[in-house]
Amino acid sequence: MTSTSVRRPLASGVAVAAVMLILGCSPSPPPPSGETPSQSSVITPTVAPSSPTAHQSSATAATGAASERQAPPRPTAPPATTAGSLGADDLPAELPGGFRAAERPPAEEERLPNGSWVFQTPAGQAAWEAMPRCDRNDGRDWPAARFALGGTYLDAQGRPGNALVIEFSDAAAAREYATAYRAVLASCPRTGGMPAAERVAEGEHWYAGRRSYGTDDWSEVVADRGTRVWLAIWNDRAGTEDAALTALARRLAGV
């Protein structure tokens, strides 16, 4: 397979295909500037293929710009429904606004259906892809992730949601990644950008906000607790109530 950028979007309301992100493709990640996210599964947070791997992106030393990564090989078997000690119980069964756990077919053949709404995804790739493409994302090597499990959601209108839980080697690494993720989000333009991000509320270990891609509006949360980081984003045009958004972020953070 030729070398290509694999920063795929978490999901979108344009063409259902199951993040996290992912954001399927994880909480998974926002697209390059000017593109509308496609409906893949991870955000991040949810990304693609099978076995967990350490994050190995390299920054361009002279410019600090994110370099392209080698696309993972196409999977030959469905992904597992667990990743290390991570399982379905480690992701929320529902997201605010009527989004429930539901299997969605992968959009870009980045994984094979496994009969479940959760799927193991390469940890390093998932963590790298989930990072928003805004000014503070300079392509650096984020802390190496050990395991990642993605989940997909749908509401009654068929709109997608994605979640990703990432396991790190220790709490310091998880905290560093979550802090970097939130710093990148804070550097996204408030309006007129792709993506545009807006903070609703935040605490020491959690963040609740909204993101938009043109006419597509999303609600999202980021949380870290112990050795784990949670990313969730869902295509909620009506707008999840601030209280419900904040409650999910706090619950995932254990506060």
Count helices and strands in the chain by DSSP H and E runs: 3, 9
Q: Supply the pLDDT for residue 80.
A: 92
Distance CA 213, CA 115 (A): 30
Enumerate domains of the chain plus CATH numbers: 88-253 (3.40.1000)
Q: Supply the pLDDT for residue 23.
A: 41
Q: Supply the pLDDT for residue 238.
A: 66
Tokens 């870290």, residue located: 224
Omega prior to 195 cis, within 30 of 0: yes
Q: Region 90-97: what's the mean pLDDT?
A: 96
pLDDT at 147 over 50: yes
Q: Region 123-142: what's the mean pLDDT?
A: 82
pLDDT at 250 over 50: yes
Looking at 26-30, 102-106, 132-136, 175-179, which range is the least confident one? 26-30
What would the pLDDT profile of 27-73 be if each residue is shown by its tens digit? 333 333 333 333 333 333 332 222 222 223 323 222 333 345 666 67
Instruction: Count the Cβ atoms, other than its own, within 10 Å of residue 241.
Output: 13
Q: Is the pTM of this model over 0.85?
A: no
Q: Region 175-180: what's the mean pLDDT?
A: 95
Distance CA 230, CA 225 (A): 8
206 band by pLDDT with thresholds 50, 70 and 90: very high
Q: Count Cα neighbours of 115 within 13 Å in the Cβ-side half-sphere.
A: 2
Helix (H) or strand (E) holding 253: helix 242-253
Q: Supply the pLDDT for residue 214.
A: 77
Average model confidence (pLDDT) for the chain?
74
- 100: which strand partners? 94, 154
What would the pLDDT profile of 209-228 be if each residue is shown by its tens digit? 998 887 788 999 999 999 99
Identify which has the larger pLDDT, 202 or 55: 202
Distance CA 32, CA 7 (A): 8
